[in-house]
Amino acid sequence: METQRIKTCFTITFTDEQFSRAKAYVEDMRRHPKRVFWKGKESKTDQELIVEQIAHRILSGFYNDDPLTSGRYIVGMDAVKNGD
């Protein structure tokens, strides 16, 4: 099976509640520095980690339990195949 790599940029929106939950998650992870969560993230700021957590949850479908409104968080997307 051949795999391909695409670089994609998403524009997302999020609520204050989603921000608060992601912030609490990052704060909890700070109390557990040995967790896998930190692999490759050691030098990132809290703000970067919070936004990454929000994006991860949106793109993974954690916030998409209502099919009629699930698309509201992803405002846009640009993708380019590497080498193009």
Q: Do the domain assignments include residue 8?
A: no
Q: Which two tokens stand for residue 65?
A: 């339990």
Q: Do the domain assignments include residue 46?
A: yes
pLDDT bin (cut points 50, 70, 90) of residue 27 is very high
In the chain, the number of structural domains is 1
Q: Do the domain assignments include residue 64?
A: yes
Q: Do the domain assignments include residue 5?
A: no
Note the pLDDT of residue 49.
94
Q: Do the domain assignments include residue 57?
A: yes
Rounded to whole angstroms, the Cα distance separating 73 from 58 reads 7
Range of the domain at 37: 15-70
Look at residue 20 and tell me whether its pLDDT is greater than 70: yes
Q: Which residue has the higher pLDDT, 75 or 66?
A: 75
Q: Do the domain assignments include residue 4?
A: no
User: Taking CA 73 as the corner, what is the angle to CA 70 and CA 77, rounded to the nearest 5 degrees?
Assistant: 110
Q: Which residue has the higher pLDDT, 38 or 70?
A: 38
- Three-class secondary structure of residue 64 per DSSP: coil
Instruction: Report if pTM > 0.75.
Output: no
Q: How many CA atoms lie within 13 A of 48 on its CB side?
A: 7
Q: Do the domain assignments include residue 39?
A: yes
Percent of the chain residues topping a pLDDT of 70: 83
